[in-house]
């Protein structure tokens, strides 16, 4: 439940939202701003759920509507992420046109515009006009990293909520309090910013399977190096060919190798349940650093859409 995590980690936001919704003083536009290290997308979707859900004052996160918003599968929810391609005037006009028709779902209509600080000046002006003449039942949820790049007149029409990045420890503690095992919290907080994403991943079969594969790979790397390639080809790379899966696997392997290195300097390990096992592993620190660099290189190539399986073969020959 993201709600409970937000209540604990972003109490000011939570209380503001709760009092707006319980007093029926819901603003027609929200502007969420954050430093890096906050999963603002998760929070934007949470607000959208609050606007739609009939079950609780905020969102129940379990009903059909909440789930469809989570899956971005709710017809009256429009979404643009201006990260890779800036939001243009035509995107705003498209939303206006769609929303001028009657509601498909029979409830609020919501648009989420992320990275509004990357929108073109024309888009910002069109958006401003929309916000100046709010239509009942239509809500805007905007996000940005840099408020200085958003028109002040847009800012003044929104409820502005600033999110502070949680410290790594704060994030780990928050998800552990929600039942995630310490080791999984340590590992996943190094990969993801959002508590919701960490909890969901920790509870997924896929992650638990990839973690076992990563631990086997690490063991082979140190103790049965001759078998590393054949074991990897018959296990992990036989069953997992998707980019995201390989990426997560590589992260888990890399953190293990790093743990072994750190452990040799007397530092604590992210894989806290495997510290004893890792003590059996020895490697020249120089070679360990090279192996970590090989994995980082492979991750970068995956990001550039290289052929994953060829890349993994080449990576293993270099390890």
Q: Which residues bind Zn ion (CB under 5 A)?
A: 53, 55, 60, 63, 66
Residue 66 or 316: which CB sits closer to Zn ion? 66
Residue 55 or 290: which CB sits closer to Zn ion? 55
Residue 54 or 85: which CB sits closer to Zn ion? 54
Residue 31 or 52: which CB sits closer to Zn ion? 52
CB of 134 to Zn ion, least distance (A): 24
CB of 58 to Zn ion, least distance (A): 9
Residue 53 or 140: which CB sits closer to Zn ion? 53
Burial class (CB in 10 A: 0-12, 13-18, 19+), 130: buried
CB of 96 to Zn ion, least distance (A): 27
Residues 6+ apart with CB under 8 A from 58: 3, 17, 18, 21, 49, 50
CB of 3 to Zn ion, least distance (A): 10
**Vertex 181 angle, CA 178 and 183, to 5°:** 135
List beta partners, residue 78. 111
CB of 62 to Zn ion, least distance (A): 6
Measured over the CA atoms of residue 280, residue 281, residue 284 and residue 286, the dihedral's sign is negative
Pick left, alpha or beta for residue 234 (phi over 0 → left; psi -120 to 50 → alpha; otherwise beta).
alpha
Nearest to 294 by CA among 311, 277, 275, 278: 311
CB of 271 to Zn ion, least distance (A): 37
**Residue-by-residue DSSP string for 38-74:** S-HHHHHHHHHHHHH-SSSSS--S-SHHHHHHHTT--
CB of 52 to Zn ion, least distance (A): 7
Residue 54 or 293: which CB sits closer to Zn ion? 54
Q: How many residues does the chain have?
A: 319
Q: Which two tokens stand for residue 241?
A: 């060919």
Residue 66 or 92: which CB sits closer to Zn ion? 66
Measured CA distances, 260 to 270, 271, 275 (Å):
10, 10, 9
Residue 57 or 63: which CB sits closer to Zn ion? 63
Measured CA distances, 152 to 118, 149, 156, 275, 311 (Å):
15, 9, 6, 52, 48
Residue 223 host element (H or E):
helix 205-223
CB of 88 to Zn ion, least distance (A): 33
């Amino acid at each position: 439940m993201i709600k409970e995590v937000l209540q604990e980690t972003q109490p000011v936001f939570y209380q503001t939202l709760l009092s707006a919704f319980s007093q029926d003083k819901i603003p027609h536009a929200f502007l969420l701003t954050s430093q890096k290290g906050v999963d603002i997308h998760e929070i934007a979707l949470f607000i959208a759920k609050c606007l739609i859900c009939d079950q609780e004052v905020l969102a129940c996160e379990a009903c059909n509507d909440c789930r469809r918003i989570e899956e971005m599968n709710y017809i009256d929810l429009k979404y643009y992420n201006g990260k890779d391609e800036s939001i243009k005037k035509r995107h705003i006009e498209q939303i206006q046109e769609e929303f001028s028709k009657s509601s498909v779902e029979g409830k609020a209509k919501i648009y989420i515009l992320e990275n509004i600080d990357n929108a073109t000046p024309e888009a910002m002006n069109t958006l401003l006009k929309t916000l100046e003449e709010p239509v009942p039942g239509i809500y805007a949820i905007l996000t940005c990293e840099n408020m200085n790049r958003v028109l002040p007149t847009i800012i003044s029409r929104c409820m502005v909520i600033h999110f502070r990045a949680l410290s790594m420890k704060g994030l780990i503690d928050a998800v552990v309090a929600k039942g995630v095992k310490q080791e999984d919290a340590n590992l996943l907080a190094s990969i993801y910013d959002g508590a919701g994403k960490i909890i969901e991943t920790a509870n997924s079969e896929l992650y638990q399977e990839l973690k076992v594969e990563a631990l086997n790979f690490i063991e082979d790397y140190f103790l049965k190096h001759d078998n590393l390639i054949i074991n990897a080809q018959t296990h992990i790379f036989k069953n997992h060919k998707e980019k995201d899966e390989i990426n997560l696997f590589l992260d888990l392997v890399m953190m293990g190798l790093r743990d072994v290195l750190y452990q040799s300097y007397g530092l604590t390990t992210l894989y806290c349940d495997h510290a004893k096992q890792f003590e059996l592993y020895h490697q020249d620190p120089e070679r360990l650093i090279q192996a970590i660099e090989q994995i980082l290189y492979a991750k970068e190539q995956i990001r550039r859409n290289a052929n994953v399986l060829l890349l993994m073969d080449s990576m293993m020959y270099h390890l």
